[in-house]
Structure 1
C-alpha cells in the first residue's frame, strides 16, 4: 500500500461519507493511480439503493474512480491544496453490479492535460471482471 485513508485525505478534500477510496496501491504523480474501495453493507447509500438488493450506484462508482484520478493529479507539487472538479463524463459503460463484499479496484490514467484541464481514462474491476469504464474530464482550481 502506497497511501492509506489519512494520507489520501491530505491530497483530496473529500471526507466521510463521500470519500470513496480506502487505499492507493500505486501512483505516478500527474500520470496515474490505482486505488481500492472495500464495499461494505454499511454504506449509507445501500439503505435506499436498493433495500432488497443492494447495488452501489453507478454515479458513485464513477466518483470513486475520479477520486483516484484526483489523487494522481493533485499529488503534483503545483496542484497541492487545489481541487479537481468534473468537467464531463464520457463513454461510461457499466458491465457488472458492485455489491456489498466486493473490493472495487479503480485505475485512472491521465491521458491528456493542457493547463488546468485534463482527461482521465478510468477502469474499475472486481476480481478481474470489468465493472465500469469511462473517460473523465476534470478541471483543477
Structure 2
C-alpha cells in the first residue's frame, strides 16, 4: 500500500521507510501526514512490550526516552515523505533533544498519538516540535533535531 499525502501509512510501508524492527519499531501506523509540514502517527502500548519487564516490575511505565524515540521515528517518517526522492543509502539520525517535558506516565493499554510539526529543514539538518498524547492529554513534548546522513559515513 502506497500512501498519498494526507493519507494513512500502514506498517508495511513503515518497514520500507524506517530501518527499525521489533523490538525497536515504535510506530504502528501513520494516520495522516502533509509532506514538509506535519505527521500524526500512533503507538499502541501493550503489556507485552519487552521494556516493561524491568521498568518497573509491578508498576509498568513506558520509559520517557522510548516515548521520545517513538516521536523521533514518526519524525523520520515525516522527513522521508518530505524528501524529493527516496532515502536510498541514507538514514535519518536523531541528533538532539531540547525542552523535553514528561507530563504523565504512559502505561499498558494506552494509545500514544505521536505528532510532529513545525518542520524546519536546512540542507541535511531537520528540526521539529513533537508531542505525544494519550486520551487528548500531553504525555511528552520536546524539540527534536536530526540529520539525514549516508549509511557509509557511520
Matched, 1:49 2:55: yes
Residue by residue over 1:15-59, the C-alpha shift from the partner in whole angstroms, topping out at 9 and shown as x without a partner, is: 111000000000112322110000000000000000110000000
Q: CA RMSD, aligned part only? A: 1.2
Whether the 8 Å contact between 2:96 and 2:144 is mirrored in structure 1 is: yes
Matched, 1:60 2:70: no
Matched, 1:38 2:17: no
* 1:1-141 equivalence runs, <5 A: 2-75=8-81, 76-81=83-88, 82-141=90-149
- In the aligned structure 2, how far is the partner of 1:47 from the partner of 1:122? 27
Of 73-82 and 125-134, deviating more is 73-82
Runs of 4+ with >4 A deviation: none
SS at match of 2:17: coil
| Unaligned stretches of 5+ residues in structure 2 | 1-6, 150-154
TM-score, length-scaled by structure 1: 0.95
Whether the 8 Å contact between 1:116 and 1:140 is mirrored in structure 2 is: yes
- In the aligned structure 1, how far is the partner of 2:97 from the partner of 2:18? 19
SS at match of 2:85: helix
| Unaligned stretches of 5+ residues in structure 1 | none
- In the aligned structure 2, how far is the partner of 1:46 from the partner of 1:79? 35
| Aligned residues between the structures | 141
